[in-house]
Amino acid sequence: MSGRQKGHTTIIKRSSRRAHSGGHGGAWKVAFADFMLALMSLFMVMWIMGQVSEKDRKAIMYTLNNQSIFDSHSFSPISFSAHDPAPSTAPEVTPSVVGSSAGDSATAATAKDKETSTSGSEGDQRQLQQALQSLMLGKQAQSNMRIERLAQGIRVVVNDDQHRMMFERGSTKVTPYFQQLLSSLVPALKQSGSHVMIIGHTDATPYQQNPFYDNWSLSVNRAQSARQVLLKAGFSSDKIVQISGVADQKLLDQQQPTNAINRRIEFVILSAQGLAAWEKSFSIPATNTVLPSVQGQ
């Protein structure tokens, strides 16, 4: 032991790490940051779900479930394609159009087609009305004919006056002047392709020749006579969807129930919407079911 004195003791002191010293590191800060990030992400998801409709949420979920990060397409959660994810060339979707979808586009297209169909029907009805008014002026029938628009189409009223009668008193035979007037309606009706309802009216004079024959029967039979005149002039029978009579229940002149103007025939020329409403009125409700008959033993 050269270089060292005998009896000298060397002391080596080693510091030991305390067990609780690890708690003062930065690991808990990382865990807390992860927790706050997850909480913020949850908040953002909940907020977005509250802003998007149910239909759009389904579209977004479909896109998320069918998109892959390994595809060559750009990933966009706002893609409402019916089958494939949006390609990289797809236009950007701004927040103002998040509510749009393929279903909305289809609905808009349907509404546009319906509007176009409605406008076309309106145009046809307008042309028909002008043709009928020209006919009325050409026949100088202003006192015996009136034309007006209704919700279901055009109504043409052909009525008696003090000098001309459409039918002989108490009869269903159409007089010659009104035969020509009714026949002159056929070309315009045929060109329009419209369907027609015919309604007969009488005045309030009671029908006394037969106790079993009254103004109700007379109004219906006069409507039938007007129908026969149209058919004889070349109008198609399948274009006449209804004939009816209302007797003296709908007088034009309430103050004078026996006025000649109350004796009339009305032709309701149905538009496309009017015909659809008429057909719907005869449809059987879906809730009504016919139960099978049970035979007794």
Chain segment 225-272, per-residue pLDDT in tens: 999 999 999 999 999 999 999 999 999 999 999 999 999 999 999 999
Q: Is the pLDDT of residue 61 over 90?
A: no
Higher pLDDT, 110 or 165: 165
Report how far residue 200's alpha carbon sits from residue 218's, in angstroms, rounded to the nearest whole number: 8
The confidence score (pLDDT) of residue 96 equals 42
Q: How many helices (H) and strands (E) does the chain have?
A: 7, 5
Report how far residue 225's alpha carbon sits from residue 198's, in angstroms, rounded to the nearest whole number: 10
Do residues 150 and 268 touch, judged by C-beta distance below 8 A?
yes
Fold for the domain defined by 117-281: 60s Ribosomal Protein L30; Chain: A; (3.30.1330)
Higher pLDDT, 173 or 75: 173
Q: Is the pLDDT of residue 297 over 50?
A: no
Show me where the domains of the chain are located.
28-86, 117-281
Q: What are the E-state strand segments in the chain?
A: 145-150, 153-159, 195-201, 240-245, 264-270
Report how far residue 278's alpha carbon sits from residue 294's, in angstroms, rounded to the nearest whole number: 35
Higher pLDDT, 97 or 13: 13
- The single-letter code of the amino acid at 20 is H
Strands across the sheet containing 145-150:
145-150, 153-159, 264-270, 195-201, 240-245
Helix axes 102-138 and 272-281, enclosed angle (nearest 10):
100
Residue from 191, 83, 91 nearest 135 by CA: 191
Average pLDDT, the chain: 78
- Which residues is 153 bridged to in the sheet? 150, 270
22-31, 65-74, 263-272, 275-284, range with the lowest pLDDT: 65-74
Report how far residue 181's alpha carbon sits from residue 137's, in angstroms, rounded to the nearest whole number: 12
Higher pLDDT, 178 or 68: 178
Report how far residue 239's alpha carbon sits from residue 196's, in angstroms, rounded to the nearest whole number: 6
- pTM here? 0.57
Do residues 176 and 218 touch, judged by C-beta distance below 8 A?
no
